[in-house]
Amino acid sequence: MQDNMVRSTSSIGWLLLIGGIVIGAGIGIFEWIYTPDMPLVVKVIVGAIYLGLAFLLISVLRQRLIERKTDKYKNVEI
């Protein structure tokens, strides 16, 4: 797991995955905003749901990053 090839391919894989998700989400949001036949109420409800999920994700990510500093099992090897 400490091999440079493993780390570099893992990093490239994560970068491609995140980049694809961001581009796909951007295109989806653009299409969702500019779809003229969808009622405004539906756009607001769907937007609220996704915004709520985003806030929950950020909250959990923040908690994990804070907890990571004081995790007593961080250096335990199996």
Q: What is the pLDDT of residues 59-75, one digit of tens each?
A: 998 998 888 888 887 77
Residue spans of the domains in the chain: they are: 1-35, 38-78
Tokens (6 digits) for 1: 């797991």
State pLDDT tens for residues 8-45: 888 898 899 999 989 998 898 888 888 888 888 888 88
Q: What is the pTM of this model?
A: 0.57
Which tokens is 19 given?
């980049």
pLDDT of residue 2: 67
C-alpha span between 19 and 13 (Å, rounded): 10
The helix (H) or strand (E) run that includes residue 74 is: none
Give the pLDDT of residue 44.
87
